[in-house]
Structure 1
Amino acid sequence: MIHPTAIIHPHAKLGQNVEVGPFSIIDEDVVIGDHCRIESHVRIHCNTTLGQNNHIYHGAVIGIEPITTIPQTEPTYLTIGDHNVIREHVTLSRGTNKGGSNTTIGNHNLIMLYVHIGHDCIIGNHTTITGSVKIAGHVEIEDHVVIGGLTPIHQYCKIGRYAMVGGGSGISQDVVPFALVSGNPLRYLGLNVVGLRRAGLSSIERKEIKRIHSILFRQGLPLQKAVETLHELPDSEFIKHTLSFIDKSTRGLCRKSE
């Protein structure tokens, strides 16, 4: 159902069973997949693609121009996957030419009210981004991450999968996978035990992740020595992922403990 007050550019492409509410505006070169629900007063800017079964609430602004002083000489894009819930007054930026031209949001994410996601960010799947989180440009958030409300995230930071960030924290360093962090300045509090159990990881898998974190955080090792120690452990998916994450880190790891 398309409300008669909605404005949809003739070059926008809408899939089957798409709802568009009152006074929403959809620009040219927008693609919206099947079964999406766009509520009232939503603005979807050009070069935005939505997958299927997304629900966008009142007043959200999707695919805004990147907030930067550098002019964009080529088109930039925002790509959103399937089954996402984007709540009231969320703002999502397109990418920049310098950053690869694309902001990407995966599947099954819950993005709560007043969240801002900046240009060139990569958001994974099954994340929960709570109200008023502000995410600067070039941030990468892996799968199954939970971020508490009122948290600012510095540009280029990375947050590993199954990490949990306490509300009101200030993120200026990278957060390793499976970590529980909180505070401003940010502190490592331990494993995200509740998240790992909810994910269905076995006691053996949780024990292995605990050993990885013990080497990184509990033994007082310099980071280089901790990484060398991890390389000496029997190979596993969790070690590979953690080492790959550390290798890609550019902001430094949050390793300060309470």
Structure 2
Amino acid sequence: MTQVHSTAIVDPKAELDTSVKIGPYAVIGPHVRIGAGSTVGPHCVIEGHTTIGRDNRIFQFASLGAVPQDKKYDGEPTELVVGDRNTVREFCTFNLGTAQDAGVTRIGNDNWIMAYVHIAHDCQVGNQITMANNATLAGHVEVGDWATVGGLSGVLQRMRIGAHAMIGFASHVGKDVPPFMVVDGHPLAVRGVNLVGLRRRDFSAERIGAIREMHKLIYRQGKTVEEARSALAALTAQLPEAAADISLMDAFLATSAAGIAR
């Protein structure tokens, strides 16, 4: 049977797999579903229409599924959906979505989320993300797979962080951050390519070389975004082994509403 500490309060309508463990003084609401192998630490509060997948480890004092910090929220049955194998450290806060967006705050799989991280309403967080202590995502932020957000960094509403990007410590993210780039500072500035991250993920020398060429086209030749996109199309013909990476970058640039970090 589900292992629920005697001091925890679990609503009888909550749906918990039989292998779930709930720690002392935790509170689990009626619309919560938690998958197999997940553990919830002491004093956590999980409420709202919240679905949590398999093998997540949620440390003490986390608050998941609370109503959005948005004055327009009027009690709509919006959701928080958390995938599988995530580590959620102490005092993290993940909020429900809002009716003004898709209505779902979504966090993917295999993410490493450190203490005091805030993920606001309607954020869409991918897989294999690292968010260091006190990193904060405002509402409607999108974070691509394998991105890293440094400690004490703040990401403004509706910004996008591309896959494999790295946000340095205590940065102010007020522009979209293209895939594969390293940025930091206030004002935010691109420092180069995330070479350490790409090598750790076994990117080939050819793919890394192509990404460095993309960096030059976008940031070192004085091109506009549209000019850079045209150059990327030519680069695909020259470096077919990196076609998927180039396509990822081109799609990101094409859909940037806020403008990209420079």
Q: Displacement, 1:156?
A: 0.4
State the alpha-carbon separation in 1 of the partners of residues 125 and 31 from structure 2.
22
Match of 2:4, SS? coil
1:49 to 34, 48, 51: 51
The answer as to 2:34 corresponding to 1:32 is: yes
Deviations 1:193-233 (A, max 9, x none): 00010010000111111111110111111222111211233
Corresponding residue of 1:93: 95
Unaligned runs of 5+ in 2: 238-242
Q: Displacement, 1:72?
A: 3.1
Normalization by structure 1: what TM-score?
0.97
Match of 1:231, SS? helix
2:12 to 1, 10, 13: 10
For residues 247-258 of structure 1, what are the structure 2 equivalents within 5 Å?
Answer: 247-255=254-262
1:237 to 230, 235, 244: 244
Question: What is the number of equivalent residue pairs in this alignment?
Answer: 255
Corresponding residue of 2:226: 224
Q: Displacement, 1:188?
A: 0.5
Q: Which amino acid aligns with 1:182?
A: D
Deviations 1:68-118 (A, max 9, x none): 111335310000000000000000011000111000000000111111000
| Greater mean alpha carbon deviation, residues 215-224 or residues 59-68 | 215-224
Normalization by structure 2: what TM-score?
0.95
| Greater mean alpha carbon deviation, residues 142-151 or residues 69-78 | 69-78
Q: Displacement, 1:234?
A: 2.4
State the alpha-carbon separation in 2 of the partners of residues 231 and 203 from structure 1.
20
Percent of residue pairs bearing the same amino acid type: 38
Unaligned runs of 5+ in 1: none
Does structure 2 retain, via aligned residues, the 8 Å contact 1:156–1:250?
A: no
Q: Displacement, 1:153?
A: 0.4
Q: Displacement, 1:120?
A: 0.3
- The two structures, once aligned, show a CA RMSD in angstroms of 1.0
Match of 1:234, SS? helix
Deviations 1:228-252 (A, max 9, x none): 2112332511111111111221111
State the alpha-carbon separation in 2 of the partners of residues 49 and 224 from structure 1.
41
Does structure 2 retain, via aligned residues, the 8 Å contact 1:73–1:97?
A: no
